[in-house]
Amino acid sequence: IVKQEIEKLILFLGDRTTINKNDVHQIVNRSLEQNVFLLTEYIQKNKKTKAIQMVKDLIAMKEEPIKLLALITSNYRLFYQSKILGQKGYSGQQIAKTINVHPYRVKLALNQARHYELESLLNIIDNCAETDYKLKSSYMDKHLILELFILSL
């Protein structure tokens, strides 16, 4: 988990070469939702190994694969909704109000969504639905199903 926290700090820093106390407090011990948002960022940047490791860490912390998938799906839905409304000329504040989400989440979603085409986001959301069905109906290992899903993105 410590290694994962360090990796999150490195991602957060971007091009910066120094880290300060505020950086650490801002990143370390994130909520589950924040970790899942970072997970979707790893997926978007094609850092599948880090994404899988984060899933394993979250599962080790007793998070259920179905719950993790629900949060991942929620993020991709937010990316899709934000992208559509952004293309229609809505501001971040207007999007937040329209879909009843905190403006900071919309800001992050718009930043992530710009890396995807709408059709790609729809395909991912469909893949989320298929994976949800597998998690709930299959006798296959749920952790493996979630890992295969992430690798397929």
Which residue did the predictor score with more confidence, 3 or 55?
55
pLDDT value at residue 70: 96
pLDDT value at residue 29: 60
CATH for 65-152 (3.40.50.300, 1.10.3720.10, 3.30.830.10, 1.20.272.10): 1.20.272.10
pLDDT value at residue 31: 75
pLDDT value at residue 85: 98
CA–CA separation, 17 vs 87, rounded Å?
35
Could you report the per-residue pLDDT of 62-80, keeping only the tens digit for each?
889 999 999 999 999 999 9
Residue 34 has pLDDT above 90, yes or no: no
**Number of neighbours of residue 56 by Cβ within 10 angstroms:** 14
Share of the chain above pLDDT 70, in %: 95
Share of the chain above pLDDT 90, in %: 68
Residues constituting the chain: 153
Which run of H or E residues covers position 85? helix 65-87
Could you report the per-residue pLDDT of 92-145, keeping only the tens digit for each?
999 999 999 999 999 999 999 999 999 999 999 999 999 999 999 999 999 999
Short-list 50, 65, 61, CA closest to 132:
65
Contacts of 97 by beta carbon, 8 Å cutoff, 6+ apart: none
pLDDT value at residue 11: 77
CA–CA separation, 123 vs 91, rounded Å?
25
pLDDT value at residue 28: 65
